[in-house]
Structure 1
Amino acid sequence: MSKMLKLITIFLTITTISAQVPVKDGWRTVSSPWDAARFREVMTRVLPKAYTNPAIRSGRIAGGELAYLGQFPYYAFLYNVDSYGDTYVCGASIISHNWLLTAGHCLDEIVRTSVYVGMIDRVNGPAIWTLDVTPANFIIHEDYFGIINDIALVRLVRAIPLSPYVTNVALPRRSDSSVVLEGKIGTVCGFGKIDDVKSQPSQFLRFINQDIVANSVCAKLYGSVNVKSTNLCMNGTGGRSTCSGDSGGPLVTEITAGQKTLVGVVSFGAELGCTLGYPLVFTRVTSYLDWIEANTGIVIYS
């Protein structure tokens, strides 16, 4: 079979599957859960009081690049509806064919969510697979509070059909807890806002590569009470950053050469802006391996 014929066959297969998964009405008017009134006090508490670096503006999500189909096969898009009827965008990581890992604040007061995988255009779609999920299948960390223990699981009652375009990401081993991540390049993707001016998340899936930095860098700005050992920090300079709508999404890096490992879950950043150079804060996955194993049955290797 020629290379061109193979590409056509793959395209037709994806189109046939994903044509059955249309996007929902109203996706043009969604926001981040951090924009909800109930989270304003939390973000006010972690708001940096001063920052001396010059402002750097960017026309795209913190200098992000467009992703292509299959580049992040472990990314899941969450379309959430809360108890007030408001809709929010979040991300999640596929950690097995029946489980997603996301941020606790993404599921707080959410009454239903629609999971979409294999999608790089949130307005027009299509997606390869979708499933509506109710709170009965949410597991938010029992000690979650705002930005503390900001981690949650979504149980999928119908298994995701894994393929080269949709698959799970590797979880860390327990021994990886002792690996120094500072200085490693991390990759994060999502549909977050493309800059500090736009009111809506990005139509297209984007990604950035930035270096992971010591927690002390974040603690200087957000305070040690907000940045704990269960967090992980990433450089936000150069206008390259996560933004509203990226919550819950995956941060991966290579702990073992050649293998992307999930090390962080997008938690929070500076309320002042996404492109101003502030560091980014994630939930550190290695701090919750026992919790993940206990709640999902996924074996975490030593």
Structure 2
Amino acid sequence: MCKMVNFLVILLFVYVIHHGGATTYKCDQTSPCGCSPVSPIVPKIHGGESSIPQSWPWIVSLRHAGFDKEEHFCAGVILEASYIITAAHCVQQEWMSILSDITVCAGSVRLSDACLQTRSVRQIIIHHGHNNRTHENDIAIVELDEPLDFTDRWVSKICLPSVKTGSRYPLAGTSVMTIGWGQTRQDDTASDKLQQVTLKVMDDSTSACSNTLTNRTVQICAYGLNKDSCPGDSGGPLMQFTTAKRWVLVGITSYSSSNCTLPIKPGVYTRVSAYHNFIKAAIQGMYEPPVNRPYTCECQCPYAPQIIDVLPNGDKYVGQTKNGKQHGRGTYYASGGNYTGEWIDGQRTGKGNQTWHNGDKYIGAWIEDLRTGQGIYMWPNGDKYEGQFKNNVKHGVGTYYFVDGDNYKGDWIGENRAGQGIMTSYNGDEYIGAWLDNKKNGKGVFIWSNGDSYTGDWIDNMRTGQGIFTWFNGSKYEGEFKYNWRHGVGTYYFGNGQTYTGDWVIDEMEGQGRMTYHNGDKYIGACRNNLANGKGLFIWSTGDSYTGDWIDDMRTGQGIYIWPDGNRYEGQFKNNIMHGFGTLYSNTGNNYTGDWIDGNFTGQGMVSWYNGDKYIGAWLNHEKSGKGVMIWSNRNHYMGDWKKDMKTGKGTMTWANGDTYIGDWVDDMRMGYGMYTSSDGNKCEGQFTEGKISDDSKCNIKMKP
């Protein structure tokens, strides 16, 4: 499943890149219906485009196995786990009498792909008023042999219009969408991949619409420039994305002109809001076609001019009327809720209270059946909005009180927080500033309950742009932000007086920067992971300085360290210590070049003293130790073993006058067996003690000390 999700995300990303300014419909994922796991991106039925995989989980393919092979013949829409809604003309053919030949394929975008879920048909319920000639009442319910599995997120149901919606729902001019596997070009074959197209509901009083449909009460015209549903789309949905952030089924694809691309020829769709009773009865197993009685509309029909009026659908009105319409004050009792208040010409206009059976309640102003003006809307979960409305949505200035204690007071546009507003959270956090699409967008100030604060730019609820973040402990950052992180160029003021100015990447000091410490120390150079990393210069307040490589805030690599007294080291470092190969230049003129371990001469190296003395050889912890050659400025020289800075072991000492000693040494003295040869060729050989031959009676040479 994770691989599937990742694949869909990649497809979505490629789709968005390709389609630039397309609209993405993000639904309310908590809704029990009308919400897909992948947000649809708009607008091919004809003139449209291929849909994003899994963006329409309620569409199904109706297939018939009575031909040479199983073929798609119509689309359908999932109403409940066991019920599909489709067009009556799709399932009224004679060959449909063999139900075992019909299958319902759910969860697949391509007709050529295997079905994610397949079901057989138990029964088909066709509206008794269906007329093949006029296409009136072109609606049917298909009951499945077993329920679809909604735990599979790629299969789910669409929402139906609320019973409180009027008979003219949706209104002319409403943006709607239809989907299907119909032709993508006239005279073409059906599309293998699910297509989608955005249309507009056409005013049914126009000639283009009135000349196309038969009964405007139960049929809808919808059109688009060179866009429409085509053969193969029948039974599919005409949908509206509502302010509740979900898709509602407003129509069933019924028929179109022979040329489904003519710009002046709309498609015709069965109006779903006119069939609440039929759908409810069919799903509850209570539908009984009337005998010898013509079908009459289930929607709101003209009312008799009386104070108590019972409508054909069971709704009741008690109140004042005028010319057969609600007018004045009155109460309307409907299956979906009740309204008490003022009416003008059959529409809620003025002050009134509306309650819905789901627990929602509205008290306020109405204009032509729409919440418009000042009002209060209350939800059953405890949320409440007080403020201005326009055309049924929050619009203007108002306050929203969330049940958890949060509240927003400010501007609203089209149901969304947009403009200037203040959001106060139950925990004491507060935001004051600009909003767009329910998110912090623009300039704003956020103050946390712990004392932290941010002043600056916001994009989609995140600190992005220029801003100042101040922590309660006195620390402060001024500079660029991205996705709530310090990102770009900025200055951080530590609470202890330390400051950093430079580059930031995802909330960390990374790039080039300058760190100034409270004691006057300074670092200028590369940073990574909030530490000195790379090339950099450190200047201590004492006058010391280091230029070179850094790893995790420590001198590591090649560098130059200079002491204030003039001493200088050039070479390798490790963990802040001279380690590796390098040269120490002393202000006295003494120099060492060679190996270092943990800050000490250790290994092979050479020391040159200011007086001309020189040692080349092995070292251990700053002392001559091992094999080495010492050359004095007076031209004496020693070659041999050393230990703790003294000649110890085997060695040869040669004096400037030509005398030599070859033999054993201990602590800078001839000790052990050796041979001393004078410049004139005389030799003394034997055991030496404390620099002298043990039997000096046999040696008449005056030896050098």
Bucket of the pairwise TM-score, normalised by the shorter protein: 0.7 to 0.9
Q: Distance in 1 between matches of 2:233 and 2:336?
A: 29
The Cα of 1:67 is off from its aligned counterpart by: 1.2
Partner of 2:579: none
Q: Contact 1:187 / 1:252 at 8 angstroms: preserved in 2? A: yes
Q: Contact 2:212 / 2:268 at 8 angstroms: preserved in 1? A: no
Q: Distance in 1 between matches of 2:108 and 2:268?
A: 25
**Structure 1 residue ranges, 4+ long, deviating more than 6 angstroms after superposition:** 82-86
2:73 to 79, 89, 99: 89
Normalising by structure 2, we get a TM-score of: 0.32
Greater fraction strand? 2
Q: Contact 2:170 / 2:201 at 8 angstroms: preserved in 1? A: no
2:180 to 164, 177, 190: 190
Which residues of 2 match residues 11-50 of structure 1 at below 5 A?
none
The Cα of 1:239 is off from its aligned counterpart by: 1.5
> Given the superposition, is the C-alpha separation of residues 105 and 9 from structure 1 closer, same or farther in structure 2, using an over 3 Å criterion?
closer
2:130 to 132, 138, 144: 144
Comparing 184-193 with 74-83, greater Cα deviation is found at: 74-83
1:212 to 194, 197, 201: 201
Q: Distance in 2 between matches of 1:120 and 1:106?
A: 20
Which residues of 2 match residues 197-276 of structure 1 at below 5 A?
197-198=187-188, 200-217=189-206, 218-222=208-212, 226-236=214-224, 238-271=225-258, 273-276=259-262
Which residues of 2 match residues 133-172 of structure 1 at below 5 A?
133=121, 137-146=123-132, 147-162=135-150, 163-172=152-161
1:122 to 111, 114, 132: 111
Partner of 1:64: 48
The Cα of 1:259 is off from its aligned counterpart by: 1.6
The Cα of 1:9 is off from its aligned counterpart by: 5.6
Q: Distance in 2 between matches of 1:208 and 1:95?
A: 21
The Cα of 1:96 is off from its aligned counterpart by: 0.5
> Given the superposition, is the C-alpha separation of residues 194 and 180 from structure 1 closer, same or farther in structure 2, using an over 3 Å criterion?
closer
**Residues 68-93 of structure 1, C-alpha deviations (whole Å, 9 max, x = no match):** 22100110111136799995521111
Larger of the two Rg values belongs to structure: 2
Q: Contact 2:240 / 2:250 at 8 angstroms: preserved in 1? A: yes
> Given the superposition, is the C-alpha separation of residues 84 and 104 from structure 1 closer, same or farther in structure 2, using an over 3 Å criterion?
farther
Q: Distance in 2 between matches of 1:84 and 1:229?
A: 40
Amino acid at match of 1:247: S
The Cα of 1:266 is off from its aligned counterpart by: 0.1
Q: Distance in 2 between matches of 1:69 and 1:9?
A: 11
Unaligned regions of 5+ residues in structure 1, if any?
1-5, 13-59
2:274 to 287, 295, 298: 287
Tell me if 1:105 matches 2:89.
Answer: yes
Q: Distance in 1 between matches of 2:79 and 2:123?
A: 15
Q: Contact 2:45 / 2:179 at 8 angstroms: preserved in 1? A: no
Q: Aligned with 2:211: secondary structure?
A: helix
**Residues 155-175 of structure 1, C-alpha deviations (whole Å, 9 max, x = no match):** 012110013211000011111
> Given the superposition, is the C-alpha separation of residues 9 and 88 from structure 1 closer, same or farther in structure 2, using an over 3 Å criterion?
closer
Q: Contact 2:61 / 2:72 at 8 angstroms: preserved in 1? A: no
Q: Aligned with 1:287: secondary structure?
A: helix
**Residues 218-267 of structure 1, C-alpha deviations (whole Å, 9 max, x = no match):** 543326xx24310111113x221100000000111034431210000000
Q: Distance in 2 between matches of 1:96 and 1:82?
A: 27
Q: Distance in 2 between matches of 1:216 and 1:182?
A: 10
Amino acid at match of 1:149: N
Partner of 2:607: none
> Given the superposition, is the C-alpha separation of residues 9 and 222 from structure 1 closer, same or farther in structure 2, using an over 3 Å criterion?
closer
Q: Distance in 1 between matches of 2:52 and 2:275?
A: 30
Q: Aligned with 1:183: secondary structure?
A: coil
Q: Contact 1:215 / 1:231 at 8 angstroms: preserved in 2? A: no
Q: Aligned with 1:174: secondary structure?
A: coil
Q: Contact 2:45 / 2:180 at 8 angstroms: preserved in 1? A: no
Backbone CA RMSD of aligned residues: 2.5
> Given the superposition, is the C-alpha separation of residues 144 and 9 from structure 1 closer, same or farther in structure 2, using an over 3 Å criterion?
closer
Q: Distance in 2 between matches of 1:231 and 1:78?
A: 23
> Given the superposition, is the C-alpha separation of residues 85 and 70 from structure 1 closer, same or farther in structure 2, using an over 3 Å criterion?
closer
> Given the superposition, is the C-alpha separation of residues 229 and 195 from structure 1 closer, same or farther in structure 2, using an over 3 Å criterion?
same
> Given the superposition, is the C-alpha separation of residues 287 and 9 from structure 1 closer, same or farther in structure 2, using an over 3 Å criterion?
closer
Q: Distance in 2 between matches of 1:301 and 1:156?
A: 28
Partner of 2:684: none
Q: Distance in 1 between matches of 2:246 and 2:74?
A: 25
> Given the superposition, is the C-alpha separation of residues 84 and 65 from structure 1 closer, same or farther in structure 2, using an over 3 Å criterion?
closer
Q: Aligned with 2:276: secondary structure?
A: helix
Q: Contact 1:219 / 1:227 at 8 angstroms: preserved in 2? A: no
Greater RCO structure (CA 8 Å; 6+ sep):
1
Partner of 1:27: none
The Cα of 1:102 is off from its aligned counterpart by: 0.3
Amino acid at match of 1:72: W
Q: Distance in 1 between matches of 2:69 and 2:107?
A: 26
Amino acid at match of 2:127: H
Q: Distance in 1 between matches of 2:266 and 2:58?
A: 24
Q: Distance in 2 between matches of 1:290 and 1:242?
A: 27
Partner of 1:48: none
**Residues 165-220 of structure 1, C-alpha deviations (whole Å, 9 max, x = no match):** 1100001111112555221110110000111131x210110000111112233543
Partner of 1:8: 3
Q: Aligned with 1:286: secondary structure?
A: helix
Partner of 1:131: 119
The Cα of 1:113 is off from its aligned counterpart by: 1.7
Q: Contact 2:171 / 2:201 at 8 angstroms: preserved in 1? A: yes
Amino acid at match of 1:187: M
Q: Distance in 2 between matches of 1:86 and 1:74?
A: 21
